[in-house]
Structure formats: structure tokens, C-alpha cells
Amino acid sequence: MRIDIVTGDITTRRVDAIVNAANSSLLGGGGVDGAIHLAAGPELLEACQELRRKDYRDGLPVGHAVATPAFRLPARWVIHTVGPNWHAGQRDPDLLRSAFFESLTLADSLGATSVAFPAISAGIYGWDPRVVARTAVDAVREADTQTVELVEFVLFSEDMADVFVAAA
């Protein structure tokens, strides 16, 4: 599996699946979550509301992942995951690892060949970007994927991209 590190806006990536750094409500938020909902259109929120009603009445737990269509995005699927929130005392690196690992495993089970990740938990949720980058790269390398051939880390700033390059 190839790992690419890219600077830019994840919503523009032409990959099979993009991963959303969501929150447990699945009902949108700021950061990359807000950007993905804006670009995918209101159908994405409807799909997330449906998931909440049917499967996640108490919300999506930290470290888990769930898929929806990507609607108006170039990607086919959005994989929603919830990273741990450092500011809320969620400081177990296994939860962060799980967010990356479970997202990639789910994309693989859908038959995706390419997946784009943002720096989950490195924004509003306040984790050290170096820990996020190290954890992300390790989690992806440990996954035994069948269909995924390309993982992109799509970072919003050159500084964040440099941190991921150092970890890769």
C-alpha cells in the first residue's frame, strides 16, 4: 500500500473514500467536518440523521467508524469517525489509533482502493500533531487491507504536512 502526504482541502480529493473527523453526534460541526458537510450537500446530514435514528441512538463512540455515501463530493463514500478529544480528557492513544484503523478497515470492506484521511484530533480536539501523525502512519501500516492500494493524508497546512512527512 502506498502512503502519500498531500497539502490541501480533503473535500476535493478524487479518491474512493474520504474520512471525516466527526463528533459523536454525527450531525456536523466545525473544522473538516463542517467543510465536508458543506461540500457534500444537505443529503449528507440527512444520511447521518438516519444513522443516528437507526443504529446510533446514543451517538457514534470514540474510535469507531461508519460509512455514508459522499453525495456531491468526488469521492464515493464518507467514512465518519470520532477521534478522542484531548481537552475532554480523552488521552488514550489506542482511541486515536482505533479511529484511523477502523476507518481504513471499513473503507477496505466496502471495496475502496483509495482513502484520504485528515489529521484526526489534531485540530479542535487538541492532540499534539506529532502524536497524531505517528499514530496515523503506524495504524495504516498495521492494517491488512485487501482492496485499498493508496492512503492519502491530506493536511490543511504546510506545517502539518511537514509533521506527517517526518512520521512517514
| Residues binding ligand AR6 (CB under 6 A) | 9-11, 21-23, 29-33, 35, 83, 118-125, 154, 156, 160
Q: Which residue number, 7 or 147, has a Cβ lying nearer to ligand AR6?
A: 7
State in angstroms the smallest separation of the CB of 144 from ligand AR6.
25
List Cβ neighbours of 140 (8 Å cut-off, separation of 6 or more): 1, 3, 100, 101, 104, 117, 151
Catalytic residue among 4, 9, 33, 55: 33
Q: Which residue number, 10 or 106, has a Cβ lying nearer to ligand AR6?
A: 10
State in angstroms the smallest separation of the CB of 157 from ligand AR6.
6
Q: Would residue 4 show up in a list of annotated catalytic residues for this protein?
A: no
Q: Which residue number, 32 or 60, has a Cβ lying nearer to ligand AR6?
A: 32
Region label for 149, one of left (φ > 0), alpha (ψ between -120 and 50) or beta (otherwise): alpha
- Classify burial at 107, counting beta carbons within 10 Å of its beta carbon; exposed 0-12, middle 13-18, buried 19 or more: buried
State in angstroms the smallest separation of the CB of 158 from ligand AR6.
12
Amino acid, single-letter form, for residue 55? D
Cα angle 36, 92, 54 (rounded to 5 degrees) comes to: 45
Q: Any idea which residues carry the catalytic annotation?
A: 33
